[in-house]
Amino acid sequence: MSDNPNALTAWAALRRIEAGTLTAEALMQACQARIAEREPEVGAFIHLDPEAARAAVRTASGIGPLRGLPVAAKDLIDTADMPTAYGSSIYEGNQPTEDAAVVARTRSVGGVVIGKTVTTEFAWRRPGKTRNPHNLAHTPGGSSSGSAAAVADCMVPLAFGTQTAGSVIRPAAYCGVVGFKPTFGTYDRAGVKELSGYFDTVGTFARAVEDIALFDGALRGATPPRLDTFDAAPPRLAIHVPFADRIDEDGGAALERAREAAQAAGASVAGLVDWTRFEAMDPVHATIMTAEAGRALAWEYDNAYDKLSDFYRETIAAGRAIDDDAYFAAMAEADVFRNEAAARLDGIDAILTVPASGEAPEGLEFTGDPLFNKVWTLLRWPCVTIPAGTGGRGLPVGVQIVTGYGEDARALAVAAWLERALVDRGATAV
């Protein structure tokens, strides 16, 4: 795979394009060949238009920072030239008239949308056809299942996901790629199907932190954040292990590998203790998300009830039963906690934690537990997951870097530093 253009990271591909040893057209063809080879087994995509992508890359190769790089878009995100079904039979064949804001921005800076990737139904719970490319008998995670699997299987270098609970960070960990959930509101959500307006966040996938930084800069219309911030002075990290009794041996071992690698590279690593309020916020997240799902999917419940899964029939009904007083009280509690939590970051550069309990579960009906992501999403803080070796079954496991609100550049710089430290220790192979 290493000699195939589709296996290159985004930055490596761009460097070869600049050197004249690769063209954007050849990269697109290599990615499409990989999709043709592996899609029948992995099932990452719900819609592809190879001819349109090849036509688009001829123009895009000379545009902006992405210069023709293929990008996959989760099928929760509108595209004017491809159907968008939101993972539901209700919207089968639905053709948006406009691109979502992040798609329009991607095209404007030279990205080519290669296809639409599988999402769980309305980005929550009910899985699609996608399998984990490392072991087809295991879930890739949800809800951004197709995007994580497509990047992991070298079908595409960059992809969009969304996170309302753990839908970027967890599948990235399960599939052994880098996942980035930026600060809430960083990327415009216009044209993204809403599930919970209080939490929904557009995120990204890649196979290296520097690629995430490249994509982030392109989407913001800014210079990519510097990733060498901690080269001279290693970061100050604090470990937080919420719900520790739910982490298995593989998840714990990955965190320990990261701790050892960080300390060997010169970082200070301390424990973040006495944060009992963190775990207590899990039901608060559930209340807000359920209440907002009941409101956001009211039309589907009233007009297409027979096409909803049992999960959504029950969840929307439960959300409607949460009255405004309870809903507003939960949001107020989350806001108070967010202010309290900021003080926890004094004296540290980032929190080091787990992105999931361990390896991806066997089977396709359960996409994994978002328990280790939900409260970070509630905090609206930026989160990055990076690969940290494999577990007992040979599947990827990862670790998660979290920083404070608006500290996205710091999150990426710490993640890039730790990524290098893990490579130096030989702890990232998947």
Which of 106, 52, 54 lies closest to 77 in space, CA to CA?
A: 106
- Let me know whether 59 and 206 are in one domain: yes
Q: Chain-wide mean pLDDT for the chain?
A: 97
Same domain, 269 and 413: yes
Q: Which of the four pLDDT bands, split at 50, 70 and 90, describes residue 2?
A: low
Counting the structural domains of the chain, the total is 3
Judge if 167 and 250 occupy the same domain. Answer: no
Indicate the residue among 295, 330, 365 that finishes a domain: 330
Q: pLDDT per residue over 12-46, tens digit each?
A: 999 999 999 999 999 999 999 999 999 999 999 99
In a domain, 227, yes or no: no
Q: Is residue 242 part of a domain?
A: yes
Confidence of residue 236 (pLDDT cuts 50, 70, 90): very high
The predicted-structure confidence for 81-115, as pLDDT tens digits, reads as follows 999 999 999 999 999 999 999 999 999 999 999 99
Residue after which a domain boundary falls, among 172, 195, 220: 220
What are the pLDDT digits (tens) for 346-368?
999 999 999 999 999 999 999 99
pLDDT band at 429 (very low <50, low <70, confident <90, very high): low
Q: Indicate whether 245 and 167 sit together in one domain.
A: no
Same domain, 192 and 308: no
In a domain, 289, yes or no: yes
Question: Does 239 score more than 80 pLDDT?
Answer: yes
Judge if 286 and 149 occupy the same domain. Answer: no
Does residue 57 lie within any of the structural domains?
yes
- The reply to whether 205 and 99 lie within a common domain is yes
Question: Is residue 62 domain-resident?
Answer: yes
Residue 304 covered by a domain: yes
On whether residue 71 sits in a domain, the answer given is: yes
**Domain of 404, in residue numbers:** 236-279+337-424
The residues assigned a catalytic role are: 74, 143, 167
Rounded to an integer, the average pLDDT of 70-85 is 98
230 within some domain: no
Same domain, 245 and 350: yes
Which CATH number characterizes residue 181's domain?
3.90.1300.10
User: Is the domain of 253 the same as that of 117?
Assistant: no
Q: What pLDDT does 162 receive?
A: 98
Tell me the average pLDDT across 330-347: 95
- Domain boundary, last residue among 290, 307, 330: 330
Q: Looking at the structure, tell me whether residues 313 and 357 fall in a common domain.
A: no
Least confident interval from 2-16, 155-169, 368-382: 2-16
Length of the chain: 430
pLDDT digits (tens, 9 = 90+) for 109-132: 999 999 999 999 999 999 999 999
Q: Is the pLDDT of residue 428 over 90?
A: no
Share of the chain above pLDDT 70, in %: 99
What's the confidence (pLDDT) of residue 1? 46
Clarify whether residues 138 and 260 are in a common domain. no
Are 14 and 33 members of one domain? yes
